[in-house]
Amino acid sequence: EIEVAIMKYNGRHTNRWSFKALHKCINSELSSDERDRFFSTTLPAMKQLVFRTQKFITKAVPLLLKQHEQSLTLSQVQVACLLANAFFCTFPRRNNTPKNTEYSRFPDINFNSLFGGSGAQVSRNIHKLKCILHYFRRVTESEPAGLVTFKRQMTIGDVGWTWSNTDLCDLHVSVEGRIEDDGQGMLQVDFANKFVGGGVLRHGLVQEEIRFLICPELILSRLFTEELDDNEALTITGVERFSNYTGYASSFQWAGDHVDTTPIDASCHRCTEVVAIDATRFRDHKYQFKITSMRREFIKAYTGFHHLGNNAALPAVATGNWGCGAFQGDPRLKALIQIIAASEARRDLVYFTFGDKQLAKDIYEIHRYLKNKQVKVGRLWQDLFSLEKTVKVPQSDVFSYIYKLHQTQDQYDGSTDDDPNDPDTVEAVAMATGSDTSTDYNANTP
């Protein structure tokens, strides 16, 4: 029934689109009761969402185009209507987007790629579909009443961080926890693709795709958000989480219903703010240590973290190893770049290392060392800039380089503010020389 309805609207793709994953999900993965409820209740309600679209969407949805700061606010019901259309693939102009056509720089939005697949991809798509179908069951059984705002923002010109006298932000580092679980009330970073959502409707199933699946309202950003430029970010406020999950990538599985208890503010937005910032994909690991690359990553992070208007008491940024998976980013360099960006944006930083104890310890200790030396944003930025000019430094160990750079400067100045018997000084020297005298970072993490 679903396949017939979808292909009636997309006849030209009859011999190209597969529904193998959708059939298996409904016929084999759902229990008898779940399948009966889907066909008797959820599916008819999803159709009604499509039919109600003209009632709730009375004019064309505006596009969030490159180099234009603009925002779009929709009710959760409007979002559900448009996502139901995406499920039934009723955006035919988005099925084929040749170069230089109107939508060639936009992500895909129709769900057809989720319905098929081959080999291991079928299993992935099944769990993606479980998230999507669960979302539709929830919003059709109990109509949500909140608002969701999508805001495209950009940074123009030089931020002026090279000579900045801004103090480094406060930092909390955590080995355990996840941004979506433990970052409530914070600005939560989506490790994005420049086409927001990345492979959520195709093969991808890592941090960004998982976030979009457990909060499917994020998927709608793909309908109207053009590819992000280097100085742009997308902030989404008010999204609700509907699903739990286990695993990651090939081990990802839908793990049941999630009741989102995040408070709703006076403007009817759930107090969840997600910012999509896309890191550079480095095919050569060394290229990220060039000044142009570091500057690009800083501007991207700063654009996402910066808040126009009153900057008093802004929420902290909840982030982690941004761009450090398939994009080959160096986690220690990315940590310092995000510390600099958060500092300039007047936000504190909460950093999740996703189980990497050594990385958590290293980040905490370099931050404490720099704070104790009262290093400012401008000085740290110049330290990073010098990486490109120093051929003797092993670029795989950014932190050791920073320690040595400051110790060399202290010796050059002929004096130092550090007491040689101070534990932090001993610890910094140990980090630079490879000695093991450091304390457990957990004991002093704020």
156-206 residue pLDDT tens? 987 888 899 999 999 999 999 999 999 999 999 999 999 999 999 999 999
pLDDT, position 308: 78
277-290 burial by CB neighbour count: b if 16+ within 10 A, else e? bbbbebeeeeebbe
What DSSP assignment string belongs to 189-202?
A: EEEE-SSTTTTTTT
How far is Cα 403 from Cα 147, in angstroms, rounded to an integer?
47
What is the amino acid identity at position 188? Q
The fraction of the chain above a pLDDT of 70, given in percent, is 90
Q: Which residue has the higher pLDDT, 123 or 439?
A: 123
**pLDDT tier at 117 (50, 70, 90 boundaries)?**
confident
pLDDT band at 437 (very low <50, low <70, confident <90, very high): very low
What's the pLDDT score for residue 444?
Answer: 38
Contact of 29 with 126, CB cutoff 8 Å? yes
**What pLDDT, in 10s, does the model give residues 124-149?**
999 999 999 999 999 999 999 999 99
Flag whether pLDDT at 421 surpasses 60. no
Q: How confident is the model at residue 392 (pLDDT cuts 50, 70, 90)?
A: low
Token pair recorded at residue 3: 């396949």
Q: Across the strands, what pairs with 71?
A: 151
Asked whether the beta carbons of 18 and 115 are under 8 A apart, the reply is yes
Rounded distance, CA 269 to CA 231, Å?
A: 26
Question: pLDDT higher for 291 or 10?
Answer: 291
What value does the mean pLDDT take over residues 33-53?
Answer: 96
Residues 6+ apart with CB under 8 A from 372: 424
pLDDT at 210 > cutoff 70: yes
Residue type, 282: F
- What's the whole-number mean pLDDT along residues 233-248? 98
Mean pLDDT of the chain: 89
pLDDT score of 414? 56
Sorted by sequence, the CB contacts under 8 Å of residue 351 that are 6+ apart come out as: 171, 172, 173, 174, 319, 320, 335, 338, 360, 363
Beta carbons of 249 and 224 less than 8 angstroms apart: no
pLDDT at 206: 96
Q: Any idea what DSSP says for residue 93?
A: G
| pLDDT for the residue numbered 433 | 33
Q: What is the C-alpha end-to-end distance of the chain, expressed in Å? A: 56
Whether the per-residue pLDDT at 418 is higher than 80: the answer is no
What confidence category does residue 56 fall into, taking pLDDT thresholds of 50, 70 and 90? very high
Predicted pLDDT at 286: 86
On the question of pLDDT at 234 being above 60, the answer is yes
Summarize pLDDT for 276-290 with one digit per residue, the tens: 999 999 998 889 999
Across 155-200, the runs of DSSP E, i.e. the strands, are 171-174, 187-192
List all residues 6 or more positions away from 123 whose beta carbon is below 8 Å from its beta carbon.
Answer: none
**Cα(179)–Cα(354) distance, integer angstroms:** 9
User: 184, exposed or middle or buried, with CB in 10 Å at 0-12, 13-18, 19+?
Assistant: middle
How many degrees, rounded to 5, is the angle at CA 427 between CA 377 and CA 421? 105
416/196 Cα distance (integer angstroms): 48
Q: Which has more confidence, 160 or 300?
A: 300
Alpha helix (H) ranges present in 98-155? 112-115, 120-141
Those residues whose C-beta lies under 8 Å from the C-beta of residue 193, and which sit 6 or more positions away, are 199, 204, 208, 278
The pLDDT assigned to 140 comes to 98
Residue type, 383: D
19-24 long-range Cβ contacts below 8 angstroms, 24+ apart: 19/115, 19/116, 20/115, 20/116, 20/117, 20/118, 20/122, 21/114, 21/115, 21/116, 21/117, 21/121, 21/122, 21/125, 21/126, 21/129, 22/114, 22/115, 22/116, 22/129, 24/122, 24/126
pLDDT at 343 over 60: yes
Please, what sign has the CA dihedral across residues 218, 224, 230, 231? negative
Amino acid at 178: R
Catalytic residues: 190, 208-209
What is the pLDDT at residue 311? 61
- Of residues 307 and 318, the one with the higher pLDDT is 318
